[in-house]
Amino acid sequence: MSDPTQLQSEVGEESRDVNAAKGWHPPSAPAPRDRGLGPFPRLILRGATVIDGTGAPPWGPVDIVIENERITALVNVGTPHKPIDPKRRPGPGDHEIDCHGKFVTPGFVDAHAHIGTPYHAMSGIVPPADYIYRLWLAHGVTTVREMGAMGGLGWTLEQRELSAANKIAAPRMIVHSVFPAVNDRVKTIHTPEQGREWVRKLAARGADGIKFFGAPPAIMQAALDEAAQLGLRSGCHHAQMAVTRVNALKSARWGLTSSEHYYGLPEALFEDRVVQSFPTDYNYSDEYYRFAAAGQTFMQAAQPGSAKWRQVMDSFLELGHTFVPTFNIYDANRDLMRARRADWHDQYTWKAVWKYFQPQRGGHGAYWYRWSTTNEIEWKQNYRLWMQFINEYKNQGGRVCAGSDSGFIYQIYGFGFIRELELLQEAGFHPIEVLRAATSQSAALLGIDDDTGSIDVQKRADLLIHNQNPLTDFKLLFGTGAMRLNDETAQVEWQRCLETTIKSGVVYDTAELLADVRNMVRDSWAGDPDGERPPLGGSPAGSPCDDGQAAP
């Protein structure tokens, strides 16, 4: 696209302006923070078992001392199953939380997230920013890498600053803007020098990085070079419209920080072709064809253990490249019915988001109008190969990070991030490795690992308090809880482990945040006939999906 109105956009506002012309606008701004306590001059978490996010095993009991927004002491106060000697404990705090028998982990870092998507406006009023932020915080997400700033760079930077000052209840934000140089999207950059100039202006506006969808090779190479000189990080969704010329390995050699999703990786593994085997009637603008064919790419690539497979993996390792697979966002391609009937939709999915998920042409991620058993089987095979590469890459020292990309394809904020943790475990990650990918590794990708991502003295107090060990079952982290049978009562219960999210020293009650979201969603459906609501799916009696009842 090269419409004159787009050419006049300020750097970082191109997507916003194109969407505004369609009547699509960013989420409404959040209210001033009315949730959370603190930060306190001296906050102490007493008697916790700590899982620090570095890959170390749990240890404790520990008293964690937080002064304002920073961890100032980690005090080993005893031995499990023995009384704690009060003399070993740090002095009293202004506020204390009893964490005996509980587990404390770092706050999660969602390495691929969006503060809403303008596409939701196709189906009604887009959810407010508070809906998204509270779902993130309720699921332990204390930092997000905003990959695109689709609501406009200016608006997103304003959100970043409000969050940094704890003026809104929201995660910390690292902001990447879309590089407008792909034909089927916004295209205002046509030469390498224009690309360099755009990057310079983006840096001057205060962005943290760039989100690419690809670009003509000379332009992308120039932009990545300029970004490196200015200290901007980068991620790329290697879209099919550009991947033949620049796959993930080529862009990594030019300095790309991370590859997002799976795009560009199988193309780097091709050894008997250059272009994937597109059907003769393929049209990229028809998303059924786009995503059906995408589920075949790894099956057309070099196989695990082959010389090509090892060569490509070694090259990525030598470059220190990072993968953010976002397994979550394509999960519905493997089992559409499961994704449609997820326990949380009826109480936690905003009206316009739910309607947007339904089969429709012209949107993004709503390509279910002819999805088939064959499509699902191919995607399951695709995942098997994709997951094997990602797990082997991690095993050989490569960095893999947890990102959700929620807001599309039946995945919603917060819940989708926890699903990503499950899928990393499915790929072969030990639960401690999953936690590491979701905390310290993602913080390192964002360049903020000296500030957050692990539990260390002088790090920011981004912490989660769990009433059970989350490593035993990531389902306990879902806002709905995990279904369990109480053998004493013979009744089904829904257990949820994440009680408290601490972001920059502010203490949030996750049950309160979830109740806020349920109320927002209920209001979004006011006046609509029940037949248009998400299906309940036969949730058992006592489920937190029942009206008005939260998981304990």
Question: How does residue 336 score in pLDDT terms, banded at 50, 70 and 90?
Answer: very high
Burial annotation 72-105 (CB, 10 A radius, 16+ → b, else e):
eebeebbeeeeeeeeeebbeebebebebeebbbb
How many Cα atoms occupy the beta-carbon half-sphere of 300 within 13 Å?
Answer: 20
* pLDDT score recorded for residue 303: 97
SS3 146: strand
Q: What is the mean pLDDT of residues 61-70?
A: 98
The Cα 552–Cα 486 span in angstroms is 14
Is pLDDT at 535 greater than 50 in this prediction?
Answer: yes
How many Cα atoms occupy the beta-carbon half-sphere of 323 within 13 Å?
Answer: 26
The Cα 443–Cα 401 span in angstroms is 9
User: Hey, how many other C-beta atoms are within 10 angstroms of the C-beta on 351?
Assistant: 24
64: in domain:
no
The Cα 352–Cα 361 span in angstroms is 16
The gap from C-alpha 328 to its chain's centroid, in whole angstroms, comes to 9
Whether residue 359 contacts residue 367, with contact meaning beta carbons closer than 8 Å, is answered with yes
CA distances from 70 to 45, 74, 97, 155 (A): 13, 12, 16, 28
Q: What is the mean pLDDT of residues 451-477?
A: 98
Q: What is the mean pLDDT of residues 238-249?
A: 96
Q: How many domains does the chain have?
A: 1
524: in domain:
no
Q: What is the mean pLDDT of residues 530-540?
A: 55
Q: Which amino acid is at 323?
A: F
Question: How does residue 362 score in pLDDT terms, banded at 50, 70 and 90?
Answer: confident
* pLDDT score recorded for residue 552: 47
96: in domain:
no
User: Hey, how many other C-beta atoms are within 10 angstroms of the C-beta on 529?
Assistant: 7
- The residue range of the domain holding 12 is 4-32+107-446
517: in domain:
no
Task: Look up tokens 């191109």; give the residue.
Answer: 14
168: in domain:
yes
Is pLDDT at 530 greater than 50 in this prediction?
Answer: yes
Question: How does residue 55 score in pLDDT terms, banded at 50, 70 and 90?
Answer: very high
pLDDT tens per residue across span 6-52: 458 999 999 999 989 988 888 999 999 999 999 999 999 999 999 99
Is pLDDT at 3 greater than 60 in this prediction?
Answer: no
Question: How does residue 550 score in pLDDT terms, banded at 50, 70 and 90?
Answer: very low
Highest mean pLDDT among 280-289, 361-370, 445-454, 526-535: 445-454
* pLDDT score recorded for residue 527: 80
Tokens in use for 323?
């993968």
SS3 508: strand
Element (H, E) at 360: none
422: in domain:
yes
The Cα 221–Cα 284 span in angstroms is 25
Sheet holding 209-212, edge to edge: 108-113, 141-148, 172-178, 209-212, 233-236, 258-260, 322-324, 399-400
The Cα 316–Cα 308 span in angstroms is 12
* pLDDT score recorded for residue 549: 47
Is pLDDT at 185 greater than 80 in this prediction?
Answer: no
The Cα 454–Cα 461 span in angstroms is 9
Mean pLDDT of the chain: 94
Whether residue 502 contacts residue 465, with contact meaning beta carbons closer than 8 Å, is answered with yes
Is pLDDT at 485 greater than 70 in this prediction?
Answer: yes
User: Hey, how many other C-beta atoms are within 10 angstroms of the C-beta on 493?
Assistant: 17
428: in domain:
yes
The Cα 163–Cα 158 span in angstroms is 9
pLDDT tens per residue across span 507-522: 999 999 999 999 999 9
The Cα 340–Cα 412 span in angstroms is 11
Question: How does residue 186 score in pLDDT terms, banded at 50, 70 and 90?
Answer: confident
- β-partners of residue 45 are 64, 97
487: in domain:
no
Is pLDDT at 316 greater than 70 in this prediction?
Answer: yes
pLDDT tens per residue across span 286-307: 999 999 999 999 999 999 999 9
Whether residue 542 contacts residue 550, with contact meaning beta carbons closer than 8 Å, is answered with no
Phi-psi map region of 504: left, alpha, beta (phi>0 left; psi -120 to 50 alpha) = left
Question: How does residue 546 score in pLDDT terms, banded at 50, 70 and 90?
Answer: very low
Q: Any idea what the CATH number is for the domain that residue 211 is in?
A: 3.20.20.140
SS3 38: coil
SS3 445: helix
Whether residue 241 contacts residue 249, with contact meaning beta carbons closer than 8 Å, is answered with no
Question: How does residue 1 score in pLDDT terms, banded at 50, 70 and 90?
Answer: very low
The 3 state secondary structure assigned to 291-357 is HHHHCCCHHHCCCCCCHHHHHHHHHHHHHCCEEECCHHHHHHHCCHHHHHCCCCHHHHCCHHHHHHH
- Radius of gyration of the CA atoms of the chain, in A: 23
Question: How does residue 532 score in pLDDT terms, banded at 50, 70 and 90?
Answer: low
Is pLDDT at 476 greater than 90 in this prediction?
Answer: yes
User: Hey, how many other C-beta atoms are within 10 angstroms of the C-beta on 3?
Assistant: 14
SS3 358: coil
Is pLDDT at 416 greater than 80 in this prediction?
Answer: yes
